[in-house]
């Protein structure tokens, strides 16, 4: 155990040895690297012993393949999990340094778009903390998700070169590089024994070089691995560079095109674009991962590959890595000599698939031509999978023959990746109860009829270690003072807080912590935007990717409505509100960018209106990422989860804010429903259409946005203001939003839910005025949030899908 004295000695030692500096001279960056190095040393010993332990016991292992890992900063969570966070922060404070400034030296690793990538990061934390043998496999993008700047209300994207300074948590393991092949021609040749020899000629070779990042379990000496693959020119190819000038330029070009494969993260969230480079990234990740798994399995030399599924489970995060199915088939047949049937049995007992969305624009479909020329052997295997699958239905399920075009893996000249993933895996899970039901009853109904046993639900979760213990130490302390520290290992124990829901001094403490966190956020807002917000106003927060289905538009319509009310009746007794937004739009998503612009223009009118004062403020914080989320969430009082019902598969932002004592205002969608089931209707604000109602309107086509525009004066006024340039410098400013709503018939039911949303916010306001009641509600939300720890989710995956046991 360290004291601040011993930790200071360690730091001094590091700084002298690595930099020849003493503590007084050290910059925040020097301190950051010194602390990282101290932490890494702690980690390394356990990393080695964990690996050894898995090998010696021939432990069953799970690999989580994901195109995204939105891990954010690791310094604080690594310190926390090593049991060093408090002592380190205290030491820094004794030295007169602000720990925050030191930890913030780390680049926020933005290797993901949003919820899907953050989920993968939370899962890794829970897997290690619960002592499961499970690892992540992803891509080491040189550029993460773009950095967002707002200029005159417009989003501008800057490249995120997060590796410009040394990243202390990664280790390059060049000796474990693997070769990946693209393009070329496939030659088949029958051997004398009748087996098929497959050779791949004229292919482009790419090296996949692993960079390993430790995944540290909480206080348990387990360190698993997040292996991130980087694309490089094979060394032999590089040698040819020297041969002649013309070759030099040719190869330089070639090198750049290879390095592009791990060059950048595609910034589209819940949206699919058929870009060849994206397909290359997917195959690159999958091929490297599967080859690595097989190599590791053979290196252990404990059993035959025929039993791969007994020792390995592979989870694919959405369809992005679904080429894992044909790639595992390819390696088992072409390299390991298995027959089709043997390979198919192993593959379909090893791979499990998580579905993340039912949005049609997000379903991946690759053109046959592209797949065939880029991945000729993989395409042949997919073709065979498809033929066998369709024939199987034709003969075994004649009643389903008509459905073949709807379920075929290859149809309309496209490879349907979700269908490939379902056919080639033993488990298909949705990410919240409603989402899984929609998959079974609607979106994937024929597959559910074919394989009812494959389908299962695993409601998402978040790591309470990062999203409560680390980001909200004050609240954590109040909780521990009341119920002891057991909740840290067993988050369901948070429900012990319910005993305190009438305890006035306890409620007071909860409220003081929130006030403290709001004050800190108010300071950050002041620093970043220059705007002074009322620290006693309701902090009403919507932070998530910008998407029409997430309906930031409905939120800003509410703001405009309140503004109009205030202008009409300046004496209106309104509880002051601060609306806080943060959201990135995909660079090519026009409507999303228009909505960001609208939020800014409304903000500029409202915030600068002296008659409004601090009763209403609209804040947009730039560049939403994990680190910003960590600053906003502890201060949130109202959590806006207002997606069109049926569209948000789960949501995890909802869980983070609930755990920090915010109340949800939301639709009956995704995990909101499960929050509702836990806290009860008196501790959540539900409004709007439910998913069946939305579905029925869609089916019947009986919704008419225009009718609402003409009958609801509040709606008409808002839309006319937008269209008339009230919130912009020129008249044309927001015509696109206006026309989209009225002439595309408001596909996300913004107008339809408007009335119910406004009413609900009036209820919220009345509740907020009764602070005692509000505090009780807040406590109920914290108390029931334990269910949304990703520890619960991971226990379910481990028991039902991965068949992993906790190692002791
Ligand atoms: C949690 C999180 C998300 C997901 O938020 P939703 O509200 O569930 O869409 C997205 N981005 C970041 C940075 C997050 O931390």
Cβ(626) to ligand 1 under 6 A? Answer: yes
- Triad 38, 39, 43: Cα angle to 5°: 120
Query: Is the pLDDT assigned to residue 354 strictly greater than 70?
Result: yes
Give catalytic residues, as residue numbers: 356, 544-545, 550, 652, 656
- Looking up tokens 């195109």 gives 67
Q: What is the DSSP string of 675-721?
A: HHHHH-GGGSEE-S--HHHHHHHHHHT---HHHHHHH-HHHHHHHHH
Q: State the chain's mean pLDDT as an integer.
A: 96
490-522 per-position pLDDT tens digit? 999 999 999 999 999 999 999 999 999 999 999
666-712 per-position pLDDT tens digit? 999 999 999 999 999 999 999 999 999 999 999 999 999 999 999 99
How far apart (Å, rounded) are the C-alpha atoms in residues 271 and 361?
5
Query: Is the pLDDT assigned to residue 477 strictly greater than 70?
Result: yes
Question: Residue 741: CB partners within 8 Å, gap ≥ 6?
Answer: 705, 709, 719, 750, 751
- Looking up tokens 């306001």 gives 765
Query: Is the pLDDT assigned to residue 595 strictly greater than 90?
Result: yes
Q: Which residue has the least CA distance to atom 7 on ligand 1?
A: 653
- Say how many C-beta atoms besides its own lie within 10 A of residue 139's C-beta: 25
Mean pLDDT for 744-763 is 98
Q: Which residue has the least CA distance to atom 9 on ligand 1?
A: 544
Structure tokens at 627: 């680190």
How far apart (Å, rounded) are the C-alpha atoms in residues 593 and 264?
21
Q: Are 697 and 749 in contact (CB under 8 A)?
A: yes
Give the confidence band of 241 by pLDDT, cuts at 50, 70, 90: low
- Please report the domains of the chain, with CATH numbers, ordered by start residue: 1-57+75-99 (no CATH), 58-73+108-458 (3.40.50.2000), 464-764+771-794 (3.40.50.2000)
The pLDDT value given to residue 251: 84
Mean pLDDT for 573-584 is 97
Cβ(231) to ligand 1 under 6 A? Answer: no
Phi and psi torsions of 316, nearest 5°: -105, 125
Sign of CA dihedral 81, 87, 93, 97: negative
Burial of 301: CB neighbours in 10 Å, binned 0-12, 13-18, 19+: exposed
Give the confidence band of 246 by pLDDT, cuts at 50, 70, 90: confident
Q: Are 234 and 211 in contact (CB under 8 A)?
A: no
Query: Is the pLDDT assigned to residue 243 strictly greater than 90?
Result: no
Percent of the chain exceeding pLDDT 70 equals 98
Nearest to 793 by CA among 445, 482, 491, 341: 491
Mean pLDDT for 300-304 is 91
- Looking up tokens 């836990």 gives 678
Mean pLDDT for 66-95 is 97
Give the confidence band of 450 by pLDDT, cuts at 50, 70, 90: very high
Q: Which residue has the least CA distance to atom 6 on ligand 1?
A: 653
Cβ(119) to ligand 1 under 6 A? Answer: no
Query: Is the pLDDT assigned to residue 731 strictly greater than 70?
Result: no
Question: In terms of DSSP bridges, do strands 134-139 and 223-232 run parallel, antiparallel, or are they unpaired?
Answer: parallel
141-194 per-position pLDDT tens digit? 999 999 999 999 999 999 999 999 999 999 999 999 999 999 999 999 999 888
Give residue 73 CA to ligand 1 midpoint distance, Å. Answer: 15
Helix axes 552-568, 590-607, angle to 10 degrees: 20
Exposure class string for 687-703: b at 16+ Cβ within 10 A, else e:
bbbbbebbbeeeeeeeb
Nearest to 764 by CA among 451, 452, 539: 539
The pLDDT value given to residue 247: 80
Give residue 546 CA to ligand 1 midpoint distance, Å. Answer: 11
The pTM of the full predicted model, rounded to 2 decimals, is: 0.98
How far apart (Å, rounded) are the C-alpha atoms in residues 562 and 3?
54
Mean pLDDT for 650-677 is 98
Burial of 111: CB neighbours in 10 Å, binned 0-12, 13-18, 19+: buried
Query: Is the pLDDT assigned to residue 524 strictly greater than 80?
Result: yes
Q: Which residue has the least CA distance to atom 3 on ligand 1?
A: 115
Give residue 327 CA to ligand 1 midpoint distance, Å. Answer: 31
Phi and psi torsions of 301, nearest 5°: 60, 30
Structure tokens at 442: 């609607």
Rg (Cα) of the chain, in Å, rounded? 27
- Looking up tokens 């995909």 gives 586
Cα 257 from chain centroid?
28
3-state helix, strand, coil in the chain (%, to 5): 55, 15, 30
Q: Which residue has the least CA distance to atom 11 on ligand 1?
A: 114
Our CA dihedral for 595, 599, 600, 601, rounded to 10 degrees, sits at: 90
Q: Are 427 and 352 in contact (CB under 8 A)?
A: yes
Nearest to 123 by CA among 44, 70, 51: 70
Mean pLDDT for 522-546 is 98
The pLDDT value given to residue 792: 98
Cβ(625) to ligand 1 under 6 A? Answer: yes
Give residue 191 CA to ligand 1 midpoint distance, Å. Answer: 54
613-633 per-position pLDDT tens digit? 999 999 999 999 999 999 999
The pLDDT value given to residue 195: 85
How far apart (Å, rounded) are the C-alpha atoms in residues 184 and 627?
44
Query: Is the pLDDT assigned to residue 659 strictly greater than 80?
Result: yes
Structure tokens at 44: 């390394």
Cβ(227) to ligand 1 under 6 A? Answer: no
Query: Is the pLDDT assigned to residue 732 strictly greater than 60?
Result: no
Cβ(652) to ligand 1 under 6 A? Answer: yes
Cβ(629) to ligand 1 under 6 A? Answer: yes
Cβ(653) to ligand 1 under 6 A? Answer: yes
Mean pLDDT for 202-223 is 97
How far apart (Å, rounded) are the C-alpha atoms in residues 45 and 676?
44
- Looking up tokens 């459905």 gives 403
Give residue 633 CA to ligand 1 midpoint distance, Å. Answer: 11
Mean pLDDT for 569-588 is 96
How far apart (Å, rounded) are the C-alpha atoms in residues 289 and 320?
13
Q: How far apart are the first and last CA of the chain?
A: 22
The pLDDT value given to residue 729: 65
Distances (CA, A) of 551 to 282, 450, 641, 750: 30, 35, 9, 7
């Amino acid at each position: 155990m360290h004291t601040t004295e011993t930790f200071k000695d360690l730091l001094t030692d590091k700084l002298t040895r690595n930099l020849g500096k003493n503590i007084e001279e050290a910059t925040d960056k020097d301190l950051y690297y010194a602390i990282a190095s101290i932490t890494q040393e702690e980690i390394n010993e356990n990393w080695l012993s964990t690996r050894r332990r898995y090998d010696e016991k021939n432990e069953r292992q799970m690999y989580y393949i994901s195109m995204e890992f939105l891990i954010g900063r690791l310094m604080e969570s690594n310190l926390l999990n090593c049991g060093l966070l408090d002592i380190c922060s205290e030491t820094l404070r004794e030295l007169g340094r602000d720990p925050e400034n030191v930890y913030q030296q780390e680049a926020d690793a933005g290797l993901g778009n949003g919820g899907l990538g953050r989920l993968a990061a939370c899962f890794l934390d829970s897997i290690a903390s619960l002592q499961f043998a499970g690892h992540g496999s992803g891509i080491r993008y040189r550029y993460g998700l773009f950095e967002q700047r707002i200029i005159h209300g417009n989003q501008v994207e800057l490249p995120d070169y997060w590796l410009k300074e040394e990243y202390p948590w990664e280790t390059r393991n060049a000796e474990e590089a693997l070769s990946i092949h693209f393009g070329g021609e496939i030659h088949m040749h029958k051997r004398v024994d009748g087996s098929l020899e497959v050779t791949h000629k004229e292919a482009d070779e790419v090296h996949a070089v692993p960079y390993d990042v430790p995944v540290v379990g909480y206080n348990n000496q387990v360190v698993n691995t997040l292996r991130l693959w980087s694309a490089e020119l094979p060394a032999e190819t590089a040698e040819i560079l020297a041969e002649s000038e013309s070759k030099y330029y040719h190869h330089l070009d070639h090198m750049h095109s290879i390095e592009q494969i791990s060059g950048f993260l595609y910034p589209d969230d819940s949206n699919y674009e058929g870009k060849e480079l994206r397909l290359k990234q997917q195959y690159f990740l999958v091929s490297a991962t599967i080859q690595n798994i097989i190599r590791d399995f053979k290196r252990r030399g404990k059993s035959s590959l025929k039993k791969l599924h007994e020792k390995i489970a592979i989870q694919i995060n959405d369809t992005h890595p679904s080429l894992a199915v044909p790639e595992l088939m390819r390696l088992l047949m072409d390299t390991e000599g298995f027959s089709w049937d043997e390979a198919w049995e192993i593959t379909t007992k090893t791979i499990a698939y998580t579905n993340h969305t039912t949005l049609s624009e997000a379903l991946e479909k690759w053109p046959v031509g592209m797949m065939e020329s880029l991945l000729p052997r993989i395409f042949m295997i997919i073709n065979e999978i498809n033929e066998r699958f369709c024939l199987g239905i034709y003969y075994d399920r004649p009643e389903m023959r008509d459905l073949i075009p709807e379920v075929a893996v290859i149809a309309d000249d496209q490879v349907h990746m979700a269908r490939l993933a379902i056919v080639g895996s033993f488990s298909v899970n949705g990410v919240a109860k409603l989402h899984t039901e929609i998959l079974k009853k609607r979106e994937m109904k024929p597959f559910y009829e074919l394989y009812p046993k494959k389908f299962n639900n695993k409601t998402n979760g978040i790591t309470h270690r990062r999203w409560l213990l680390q980001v909200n130490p004050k609240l954590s302390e109040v909780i521990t003072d009341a119920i002891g520290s057991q909740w840290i290992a067993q988050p369901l124990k948070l429900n012990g807080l319910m005993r305190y829901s009438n305890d006035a001094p306890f409620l007071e403490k909860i409220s003081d912590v929130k006030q403290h966190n709001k004050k800190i956020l108010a300071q950050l807002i002041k620093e970043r935007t220059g705007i002074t917000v009322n620290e006693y106003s309701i902090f009403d927060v919507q932070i998530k990717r910008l998407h029409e289905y997430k309906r930031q538009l409905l939120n800003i319509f509410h703001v405009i409505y309140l503004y109009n009310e205030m202008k009409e009746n300046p004496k209106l007794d309104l509880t002051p509100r601060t609306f806080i937004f943060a959201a990135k739009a995909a660079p090519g998503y026009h409507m999303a960018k228009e909505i960001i612009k609208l939020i800014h223009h409304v903000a500029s009118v409202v915030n600068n209106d002296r008659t409004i004062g601090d009763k209403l403020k609209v804040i947009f914080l730039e560049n939403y990422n994990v680190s910003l989320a960590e600053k906003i969430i502890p201060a949130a009082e109202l959590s806006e989860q207002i997606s069109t019902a049926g569209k948000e598969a789960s949501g995890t932002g909802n869980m983070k804010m609930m755990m920090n004592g915010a109340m949800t205002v939301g639709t009956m969608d995704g995990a909101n429903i499960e929050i509702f089931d836990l806290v009860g209707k008196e501790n959540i604000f539900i409004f709007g259409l439910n998913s069946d109602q939305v579905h029925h309107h869609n089916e019947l086509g009986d919704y008419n946005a225009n009718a609402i525009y003409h009958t609801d004066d509040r709606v008409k006024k808002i839309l006319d203001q937008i269209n008339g340039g009230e919130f912009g410098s020129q008249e044309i400013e927001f015509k696109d939003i206006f026309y989209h709503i009225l002439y595309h018939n408001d596909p996300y039911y913004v107008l339809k839910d408007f009335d119910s949303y406004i009413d609900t916010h009036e209820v919220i306001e009345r509740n907020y005025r009764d602070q005692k009641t509000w505090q009780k509600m807040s406590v109920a939300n914290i108390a029931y949030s334990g269910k949304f720890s990703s520890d619960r989710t991971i226990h379910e995956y481990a028991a039902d899908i991965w068949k992993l046991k906790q190692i002791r």
